[in-house]
Amino acid sequence: MNYLPYNKNLVTRAKELRNNMTKAEKKLWYDYLRSFKFRVYRQRPIDNFIVDFYCPQLKLVIEVDGESHYQENAQESDSQRSKILEGYGLKVIRFTNEEVLSNLEGIVAIIEEMIPPNPP
């Protein structure tokens, strides 16, 4: 297992985010990821980021992007962030709040496709 830098300075913020999940994050968590066949962590500090959802067994980061991700420079920043996370051997997938709220089944199908035929 690759070592992922864990920034303990982000723990308090991660807990706040966990307690104040967006509507889309709640839907994805309670309707699917909470009972996912692999352990999934919410609001997990990795390096200098807090990722929305992280599944260590699949090395999968799932991000649910709200409005702030469409402001100027945000997509560039998201892209940099994804590159850094991918540098740790992680796979990063992003969905918009809108996608989660209006098409959870489609998102579940995409996530299910990320599970290898013979998972670890």
Q: Go through the domains of the chain in sequence order and give each one's CATH number.
A: 8-113 (3.40.960.10)
pLDDT of residue 71: 63
pLDDT at 73 (0 to 100): 64
Closest CA to 98 of 27, 31, 48: 27
Q: What is residue 28's predicted lDDT score, i.e. its pLDDT?
A: 97
Statement: the pTM of the whole predicted model exceeds 0.85: yes
The per-residue pLDDT for 34 is 96
Q: Quote the tokens at residue 87.
A: 């540098």
Q: For the chain, which ranges sit under pLDDT 70? A: 1-3, 68-75
Query: How many CB atoms neighbour CB 120 within 10 A?
Result: 9
CA distance 93 to 72: 21
In terms of residues, how long is the chain?
120
Of 70, 33, 32, nearest to 55 by C-alpha is 33
Q: What is the DSSP letter of 85?
A: H
CA angle 49-52-56, nearest 5°? Answer: 85
pLDDT score recorded for residue 7: 87
